[in-house]
Amino acid sequence: MKLLYFAWVRQKIGSSEEDIAAPSSVTTVAALVEFLRQRGAGYEAAFRDPKLLRVAVNQEHAGFDARVGPNDEVAFFPPVTGG
């Protein structure tokens, strides 16, 4: 699974992208967030309050109930502030 992080999510995690092999039990964004939180202090800080986060699966806005699998690209970021 390819993961991308933007804005303060990237700063807290200290990386902009990575490829991970998530356990087969990780089938939704919500489960992925719980899995990632265990990976270290930066992840815990980034994912502590999921209400602050937005997610895209394969470059489309998605909810925390969206299905994810090994071939997906999943991005985490704060609410957007362009324009």
Pick the piece of the chain touching other proteins (CB under 8 A) from 26-34, 40-48, 63-71, 74-82: 74-82
Residues 6+ apart with CB under 8 A from 8: 46, 78
When binding is defined by CB under 8 A, the residue of 40, 48, 61, 70 that contacts other proteins is: 61
Answer for the pair 3, 74: CB distance below 8 angstroms, yes or no: yes
CB neighbour class for 46 (10 Å; exposed up to 12, middle 13-18, buried from 19): buried
Q: Cα–Cα distance between 17 and 3 in angstroms, integer?
A: 5
Tell me the one-letter amino acid at 3. Answer: L
CB of 9 to other proteins, least distance (A): 10
User: By CB under 8 A, is residue 41 in contact with other proteins?
Assistant: no
Instruction: Give the nearer residue to other proteins in terms of CB position, either 35 or 77.
Output: 77
Instruction: Give the nearer residue to other proteins in terms of CB position, either 6 or 35.
Output: 6
When binding is defined by CB under 8 A, the residue of 3, 39, 60, 67 that contacts other proteins is: 60
